[in-house]
Structure 1
Amino acid sequence: MTTTTAFTIAADGSYAARLAGEGDALYAERWTLAGPEAYAVPLPLAQPEEADSEVLPLADGRVLIHRRVAERHAFALLYPTGAETGPSTGELQLGGVEVREGVRVRLLPPCPAGTGAFALAAEDTVTTVWQVTGDPSGPRPVARIPGRCSGGVWLDRAGRLLALDRELEGITKAVAVDLASAGVSPLLQITEDSDDRLLLADPDSGLLLIRSDAPGTARLGWGVLGSSLPVRFPECLARTGEARPFAVQPGQSLMPETCGVALRLPEGDIGLWRPADRQVFRLAAPTGWLGGSGLWSAQGRLHLPYATPEVSCGMVGLDLPVSPPPPVVLESPTPTAPRPVPLQQAPLAGR
């Protein structure tokens, strides 16, 4: 039986990566998505990969792999290379990070800048962001944040502003981390005692997808980075339960209400929604859908990766249906680069 693991798509949609293989014989696999048809290139080494290894595609075609060896976390770059005996895999060791027992280290989502890659090391009282590529001396810490952080969402195209969900004194709030200055500032402050997490963001429009218990129970909501308008919690999203957004349509500058959002529904199906819509369109997921992942085009088409015994590397496209209600008029962010500022309190009438 083929193992299904997390499938990660590069920020520019050029490549993707996952662990593939059967049983204990796992290996990294790179998908090329920029051409007319997707195709996969296996990147096996003499030693199989462990099931808890992580892979991350870079825009230059190399694949970053994160392996845990005892309490050491090692990083390397894998790439296909032609050899006299046939195709093989090259490996460039990048060094590692030593952490204490109980510290969780994981890769952050692909950086929008393309070639850089970062990891998060979370302890109970402090969290460190590590840059694991781009420095000849190996991984280096670029920011230390008081508190235990999770999540990880990029807020700009330059890969400088990173949003993390920070837990302090039993309350979780999303904060923005400036990786150039190591500064930390509030991002979500819906109410003083609510848990406010950022799930997804679109740097072009400023659209933010949020999960918060400010309405009384944990619900999906949306806001706009830099806007004075409060976070909204549509009833149509409340009916999706524990749905999780996994892709947002890019290229909709200053028009967050028109951005398509893809949701992974609890039943395993797909929900398609726009902030301007009053309904979530439900569609069946393709057979063999990988990792609850996907990629929106600027034209509004959602591309979903899948693998089956008959098709080892495939992409299927879905169009966002047209919603009958007209678009609502919303305040848009200024055309300057988005700046992380606290969102105003959400209206809690009827709580």
Structure 2
Amino acid sequence: MCRTGFAVAADGSYAACLAEASGSGGRWFAERWTLSGPEPYAVPLPGAQPEEVSAKVLPLSDGRVLLMRRLADRHDVVLLHPAGPGTAEVPVCSLPGTDVRLLPPSPAAGSAFALVPGPAGGTEIRQVHGPGGPVRVAAVAGRCTGGVWLDRTGRFLAVDRERDGRTKTVAVDLHTGEVTDLLRITEDSDDRLLLAEPDSGLLVLRSDATGTSRLGWGVLGSGAPVRFPDSLRPDGLLLTPVAASPGHGLALVALRAGAPGGAESLALWRPGAGRPNWRPAPAGWLGPTALWLPDTPLRLPFSLPDGSLALASYDAPSVCPPAPAGAPQSTAVRAPVTPVTRTAEVLPLQDAPLPRGDARA
């Protein structure tokens, strides 16, 4: 069975994806995974109509699945949940525009958000489901993509904003609508945030500040420069961060390593510890997706040959192997520090007001 668009609820209770109906010739339906029991299992949720592969799904922590369909010049959002032998479908809202993007599952239980084209080339962040119903919560000048949650309450969101020919990551306070710079490594670089671990403050990003596009890392609130380790540039592989271990102290990062032709493997890497620790990825990995909850091992969702579902578990390596003696380990690029007066809690890396001695420094 073919599956795509896999997403996991922020609390790890449920997941959702699109599955292709057998022999349908491209007709898809939503599928919900239950992850909180001893074994994962799936429930098909076919809606009122067959879905296109372009439809997007988002699991909620109460077991319902939010689905977004494109219809001409708008996107319709519905909620799906099991109802007896069939599926109940509840309309939620319609979003104008063809370039609408669902954001990753929010840490705020029961809430879902989307990026919607706004006036004058801007972007609106809309709550499409949650307390108070559908509502616009913020507006950002410029076209926005991406979407990374910066805290565990669902208040602070990072998006990559394209403006004046450059892409920089900004942080948005969804309670006040305030927008602040988050990544501005150099004035001429394109900087995109890929992953954040809220407990440790670790940020994993991609930037061309060194002259070529590279993976880098920094710590929110630290005065240290953003670093671009050579160990994250393996020949012939594209590394994509998929999860980080929760908790204080510098996080362990799981990365999908994709090779030309579709082969993939798993890399476990700790900032400053040298080369990654390589592990085989399960065949049928529904990546790039992973689940890493407190006090649990890293788990990767995958499909078995018979179409059933499973989670592959990985324990953290005791020590990541060091880089060879004398080998360069990273290139550091220091972001400019601009004096600012802001009330938001999420600020550029060197300006974030975190306590001295915090594990993030």
Rate the CA distance shift 1:324–1:210 in 2: closer, same or farther, 3 A.
Answer: closer
CA contact (8 A) 1:164 1:176 kept: yes
Secondary structure of 1:236's counterpart equals helix
From 187, 190, 195, the counterpart of 1:200? 195
Secondary structure of 1:215's counterpart equals coil
1:261 equivalent in structure 2: 253
Is 1:107 the equivalent of 2:102?
A: yes
207-216 or 20-29, larger mean C-alpha shift:
20-29
From 240, 244, 248, the counterpart of 1:248? 244
Q: Where does 1:16-95 land on structure 2 (aligned, <5 Å)? A: 16-22=15-21, 23-82=25-84, 87-95=85-93
Counterpart-to-counterpart distance in 2, 1:239 and 1:278: 13
Counterpart-to-counterpart distance in 1, 2:117 and 2:223: 32
Deviations 1:200-253 (A, max 9, x none): 001111110011111221111111112222111111112365311011111x22
Q: What's the CA shift for 1:135?
A: 5.3
Deviations 1:118-172 (A, max 9, x none): 0112468201111100256x53221110011111000011111100111111111
2:311 equivalent in structure 1: 315
Counterpart-to-counterpart distance in 2, 1:98 and 1:164: 20
- Percent of counterpart pairs with the same letter? 54
CA contact (8 A) 2:116 2:124 kept: yes
Counterpart-to-counterpart distance in 1, 2:205 and 2:125: 22
From 274, 295, 313, the counterpart of 1:299? 295
1:349 equivalent in structure 2: none
In structure 2, what residue type is equivalent to 1:7? F
Counterpart-to-counterpart distance in 2, 1:135 and 1:272: 38
In structure 1, what residue type is equivalent to 2:130? G
From 330, 333, 345, the counterpart of 1:339? 345
Secondary structure of 2:258's counterpart equals coil
Is 1:273 the equivalent of 2:265?
A: no
CA contact (8 A) 1:24 1:48 kept: no
Q: What's the CA shift for 1:344?
A: 4.8
Counterpart-to-counterpart distance in 2, 1:107 and 1:16: 15
Q: TM-score, normalised by structure 1?
A: 0.86
296-305 or 156-165, larger mean C-alpha shift:
296-305
Deviations 1:159-205 (A, max 9, x none): 11100111111111100011111110000121111111100001111
Query: Runs ≥4 in structure 1, deviation > 2 angstroms?
Result: 21-25, 122-125, 238-242, 297-300, 308-311
Q: TM-score, normalised by structure 2?
A: 0.84
Rate the CA distance shift 1:46–1:19 in 2: closer, same or farther, 3 A.
Answer: same
Q: Where does 1:279-290 land on structure 2 (aligned, <5 Å)? A: 279-290=275-286
Secondary structure of 1:192's counterpart equals coil
1:128 equivalent in structure 2: 124
CA contact (8 A) 2:252 2:268 kept: yes
Is 1:166 the equivalent of 2:165?
A: no
Counterpart-to-counterpart distance in 2, 1:62 and 1:282: 36
The runs of 5 or more residues in structure 2 that have no matched partner are 323-343, 352-361
CA contact (8 A) 2:82 2:88 kept: yes
Q: What's the CA shift for 1:3?
A: 2.5
Counterpart-to-counterpart distance in 1, 2:288 and 2:349: 29
**Aligned-residue RMSD, C-alpha:** 2.0
